[in-house]
Amino acid sequence: MCIGMPMQITAIEPGHAWCEGRGERRRVTTALVGTVAPGDWLLVFLGDAREHISAERAAEVNSALDLVLGAMQGFDTTGDAGFVLPSQMSAEQLRQLSGQH
C-alpha cells in the first residue's frame, strides 16, 4: 500500500525539493507539481511530490496517519480525528469531496 505523506519544503533545487515531514527529511522530485517554494506543503508518494496542499490539509492528513499508526500499534483510536471522516458526511458533502457537484 502506498500512503502519501505531507511534507513541507525547506529548500529547492532544479526539479527537486528538500522536504521535512513526520520525522523525515527527503529529497523529492517536483516534476508533477510545477513551481514550488520553501514553506510550501506537498503530498509525497514514494519520493515524488504529487500535489500541492494547504497547511490545513497537511494537518488533516497527519491526523489520519496518526490514527492509522495508533491503530497499528494497538492504541485507543477513539479520539477526535480533527476533521470530518467520510463516514460522517452527508451525501452532498461526499459528492463535493469526490468532485461530483
pLDDT digits (tens, 9 = 90+) for 61-78: 888 888 877 776 776 656
State the pTM of this model: 0.70
- Other Cβ atoms closer than 10 A to 54: 11
Instruction: State the pLDDT at residue 77.
Output: 54
The distance in angstroms from the start CA to the end CA of the chain is 29
Class of domain 5-97: mainly beta
- Residues of the chain with confidence (pLDDT) below 70: 1-2, 72, 75-85, 101
Q: What residue spans define the domains of the chain?
A: 5-97
Instruction: State the pLDDT at residue 78.
Output: 61
Instruction: State the pLDDT at residue 2.
Output: 67
pLDDT in tens, 9-19: 999 999 999 99
